[in-house]
Amino acid sequence: MRNMKPKQTHTPHYKTCDYLRFYLDPAQATAKFKAAVKVLRKCEVEFDSIAFCGMSGALIAPPIAHRLKKPLLMVRKTTVGCHSSDKVEGNQNCERYIIVDDLTSSGRTIKRIQYEIHKFAPDARCVGFLGVNYLSNDGTGGYWDRLDPEQKFYTFEDGDEPNLKDWE
């Protein structure tokens, strides 16, 4: 029998920008994903796909989509240096999608996602946005509650689509 060394305990130290810290720690990420799924299951908006963009979106959207059994729409920020020249990949037959990301400030990313998906799937309509960082781990809200403490899932009405001329 080999002489077994005692198992060493590793304590990670995360060097990251503030908004990604939730998703690099497995326990915090799991809690955020569960909270997001809870909010989306309660919302009364029907959607068939989940769209995302960028690194934060790639860390957040896939686990939520898999849990809800929804296909994804991935929007690239750029195709420079990518293995694909496609700006959007995913469910081209989507009709009603939501955008899942960490948070939003100016709304520019939301509009760009809508614009790129419109070119990819012209009949698809964005019906909402969920900023996962706005949620506490139980899905009731969190640090950013002061922005709008009553609403965690933001819906888009007809006419909220971006002006496509702004992006061409």
pLDDT value at 53 more than 60: yes
Q: Mean per-residue pLDDT for 18-47?
A: 82
Q: What per-residue confidence (pLDDT) applies to 16?
A: 72
Q: Which two tokens stand for residue 92?
A: 């081209």
pLDDT value at 9 more than 80: yes
Of residues 139 and 38, more confidence is placed in 38
DSSP per-residue letters across 85-120: --SEEE-TT-SEEEEEES--SSSHHHHHHHHHHHHH
Q: What per-residue confidence (pLDDT) applies to 136?
A: 57
Length of the chain as a residue count: 168
Q: Which two tokens stand for residue 33?
A: 């994903």
pLDDT value at 162 more than 60: no
| Residue 1 banded pLDDT, cuts 50, 70, 90 | low
| Residue 116 banded pLDDT, cuts 50, 70, 90 | very high
Comparing CA positions, the residue from 123, 124, 130, 112 lying closest to residue 166 is 112
pLDDT tens readout for residues 91-113? 999 999 999 987 666 678 888 89
All structural domains of the chain with their residue ranges: 21-166
Q: CA-to-CA distance for 35 and 167, rounded, in angstroms?
A: 33
Q: Mean per-residue pLDDT for 30-49?
A: 87
Q: CA-to-CA distance for 113 and 110, rounded, in angstroms?
A: 5
Residue 100, phi then psi, degrees to nearest 5: -120, 125
Q: Mean per-residue pLDDT for 53-78?
A: 91
* Residue 72 · residue 62 · CB < 8 Å: yes
Q: CA-to-CA distance for 107 and 113, rounded, in angstroms?
A: 10
Q: Mean per-residue pLDDT for 62-89?
A: 88
Mean pLDDT over the full length of the chain: 77
Q: What per-residue confidence (pLDDT) applies to 134?
A: 62
- The hierarchical CATH code for the domain 21-166 is 3.40.50.2020
pLDDT tens readout for residues 134-152? 665 554 444 434 334 334 5
The neighbour count for residue 90, using CB atoms within 10 Å, is: 21
> Residue 46 in 3-state DSSP?
coil
Please name the residues in contact with 18: beta carbons below 8 A apart, sequence gap of 6 or more: none
Comparing CA positions, the residue from 144, 133, 130 lying closest to residue 45 is 130
